[in-house]
């Protein structure tokens, strides 16, 4: 069965620090998709990225970057030079080839001024 683990329940950093949110997944499928979502205090969900299992190239989008390592079944998310507006709960998710979609429990990031 597929599973997503986000071991960090809460992280606090000071503004301008870099922070990495960990995501470890389990699946028996060789074809799958990985996602990251942001949920700010206002409650809405914001899609950040989707990556398929055949694309191990790291992705950078502004201050955000993602490190996909199949060897360790990890899809970690790094925010560079964090800002207060980055404070949110971040969810990692997995969709396997059988279309089963599982979210991790989320990591609450607090960026302090």
Distance of closest approach, residue 51 Cβ to another protein, in angstroms:
8
Q: What is the DSSP string of 14-70?
A: ETT--EEE--EEE-S-SSEEEEEEEE-TT---EEEEEEETT----EEETTEEEEEEG
Using rule CB under 8 A, residue 41 touches another protein? no
Using rule CB under 8 A, residue 68 touches another protein? no
Among 21, 25, 34, 106, binds another protein (CB under 8 A): 106
Among 1, 9, 41, 47, binds another protein (CB under 8 A): 47
């Amino acid at each position: 069965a597929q599973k997503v683990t986000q071991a960090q329940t809460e992280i606090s950093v000071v503004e301008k620090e870099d922070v990495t949110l960990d995501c470890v997944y389990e699946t028996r499928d060789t074809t799958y998709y990985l996602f990251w979502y942001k949920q700010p205090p206002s409650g809405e969900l914001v899609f950040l990225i989707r990556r398929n299992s055949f694309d191990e190239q790291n992705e950078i989008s502004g201050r955000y970057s993602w490190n996909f390592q199949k060897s360790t079944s990890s899809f970690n998310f790094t925010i560079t030079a964090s800002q207060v507006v980055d404070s949110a709960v971040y969810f990692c998710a997995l969709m396997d080839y059988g279309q089963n979609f599982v979210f991790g429990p989320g990591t609450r990031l607090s960026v302090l001024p």
